[in-house]
Amino acid sequence: MLVDSHCHLDLIKNSNPDTLIAAAHAQGVSHFLNVSIALDHFPTLLSIAQRIDNVFASVGIHPNTSSDMTVDVKTLKTMANDPNVIAIGETGLDYFRSQGDLTWQHQRFRTHIQAAKEVGKPLIIHSRDAAQDTLRILREENAVAIGGVMHCFVEDWETAQQAMEMGFYISFSGIVTFKNAKALQAVAKQVPLDRMLVETDAPYLAPVPYRGKTNQPAYVKHVAQFIADLREETFEKIANVTTENFFRLFSSATT
């Protein structure tokens, strides 16, 4: 059993969710968190989650999304009310693709944290070139009360530790398999097994040996296998612990 803790099924071109999920099942991938990046994507995500077993949805707005700038807590909470919605996000900060006055990005991040705490569903955090501010806002908004996952983690060990102290899990994507990702591989070796998740972030960031191609949930197997080799553990061990972690964190997900 293996879980893809972060994918975007609706963004994978020239394919459909049913085919992608069938291909993943054939590789032993059984559960999926299909992550929202904008509110107008949400109805599609919800209908996929309602229709296909073991595909869950989140509700949230990606930090780089330029629509939904002034979303309020109530809107997010209402959308998150469905039992197929198990998380709030992805939200966070991205200083790589957004520049200038980012007050709106900070405010929207705080709104997501508030909604997550009120609705009792964990956060999915996207952070790029913004680790210090991300941690600061999580602290200021008392995100420890709800926890969540640092998705597609690429930061250093210090950042991982600070996030874990606030109850966050660390999720590794295909980036960890890249040849030039030595620093990240060192972090993946150190993160306690009971705090680790794996993901594809499909259609982006396909792991080796599919690097540069369109990613899909089936390929999460290659992320788990790489981490198993790195840590000198069996594939089954990494698959089992990351699956257990997923259900511990997203406790509203039921099989």
Strand order in the sheet with 2-7: 2-7, 29-34, 55-59, 85-94, 123-128, 148-150, 168-172, 196-198
Could you tell me the smallest distance in angstroms from the CB atom of residue 53 to Ni ion?
Answer: 22
Nearer to Ni ion, 90 or 141 (CB): 90
Could you tell me the smallest distance in angstroms from the CB atom of residue 9 to Ni ion?
Answer: 11
Looking only at the bridges linking them, the beta strands covering 2-7 and 196-198 are unpaired
Nearer to Ni ion, 67 or 103 (CB): 67
Give contact residues for Ni ion (rule: CB under 5 A): 201
Whose tokens are 């992805």? That residue is: 90
What is the sign, positive or negative, of the torsion defined by CA atoms of 202, 205, 211, 214? positive
d(CA 164, CA 135): 11
Could you tell me the smallest distance in angstroms from the CB atom of residue 212 to Ni ion?
Answer: 18
Any residues with CB less than 8 A from the CB of 32 and at least 6 apart, and which? 3, 4, 7, 9, 21, 24, 54, 55, 56, 217
Could you tell me the smallest distance in angstroms from the CB atom of residue 179 to Ni ion?
Answer: 23
**Number of residue whose CB is nearest Ni ion:** 201
Bridge-partner residues for 148, per DSSP?
Answer: 123, 168
Nearer to Ni ion, 39 or 235 (CB): 39
Nearer to Ni ion, 114 or 215 (CB): 215
Could you tell me the smallest distance in angstroms from the CB atom of residue 125 to Ni ion?
Answer: 11
Nearer to Ni ion, 131 or 193 (CB): 131
